[in-house]
Each structure stands twice: as C-alpha cells, then as structure tokens.
C-alpha cells in the first residue's frame, strides 16, 4: 500500500487523510512518480526518475524516444512497461501494462 500523490502533493481521501492506493492504482502511482521525477534529482535514490524532461517534442521520432525513456525509468518495476505514448501540447499520456492490469498515466509539463 502507498499513498496517492498527484501534482506534487498527497491526494486527500474521504476523511481528509491521504488516499491509499492498492493493486493497479498503486502501480500506476509508482509509474507516475518514476516518470515525473527527473533522473538524478531524487535525493534518496539518484538512479530513480526519467530523462523525459530532455525530450524534444518537436523531433520526428519523439513518441518513440519517449517510449524508450519511459521504459528505461520503469526497469525497477518487474513486469511493468509503457506500451504507448501520446504527446500533446501540454504534456504526455502513457498507456501502461502491468501484472495487475492496464491503465494510463498523464503528466503535465516536465
């Protein structure tokens, strides 16, 4: 079990305490954190994070590069991988396959 984090803060549950994530929701929470954190900037684990902030969204093969960068950031999660990436003007959306099922993660500007 883990707490749900979105936009840099905890998501409050019904009683005002942080919402608890389990199963697929917990995995997607880990994916969101791994993709949003810039690699090398998390003080407790310099290897955690992604290089997505370095991506040039205008380059010809940006979705393919984003897919590779995302999956590189998720190597620590066994059986979890990004299968599709959609790049929009304001962010990116990732389709995620995991042992617990499939889901999606959206990120704003990195």
Listing DSSP states for 52-94 in one string gives GGG--TTSTTHHHHHHHHHHHHTTTSTT-EEEEEEEETTEEEE
Handedness of CA 40, 29, 91, 7 (dihedral sign): negative
Smallest Cα–Cα separation from 57: which of 96, 90, 95? Answer: 90
- pTM of the entire predicted model: 0.84
Q: Could you report the per-residue pLDDT of 9-24, keeping only the tens digit for each? A: 778 888 888 878 788 9
Instruction: Compute the average pLDDT of residues 50-71.
Output: 95
Q: Which residues contact 84 (CB under 8 A, 6 or more apart)?
A: 67, 94, 95
Q: Could you report the per-residue pLDDT of 62-95, keeping only the tens digit for each? A: 999 999 999 999 999 999 999 999 998 889 999 9
Question: Which structure tokens are listed for 84?
Answer: 């599709």
């Amino acid at each position: 079990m883990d707490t749900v984090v979105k936009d840099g803060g905890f998501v409050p549950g019904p009683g005002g305490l942080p919402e608890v994530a389990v199963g697929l929701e917990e995995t997607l929470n880990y994916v969101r954190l791994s993709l949003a954190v810039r690699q090398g900037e998390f003080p407790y684990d310099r290897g955690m994070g992604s290089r997505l902030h370095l991506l040039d969204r205008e380059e010809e093969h940006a979705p393919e590069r984003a897919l590779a960068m995302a999956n590189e950031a998720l190597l620590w999660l066994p059986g979890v991988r990004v299968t599709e990436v959609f790049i929009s003007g304001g962010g990116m959306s990732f389709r995620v396959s995991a042992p617990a099922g499939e889901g999606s993660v959206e990120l704003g500007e990195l």
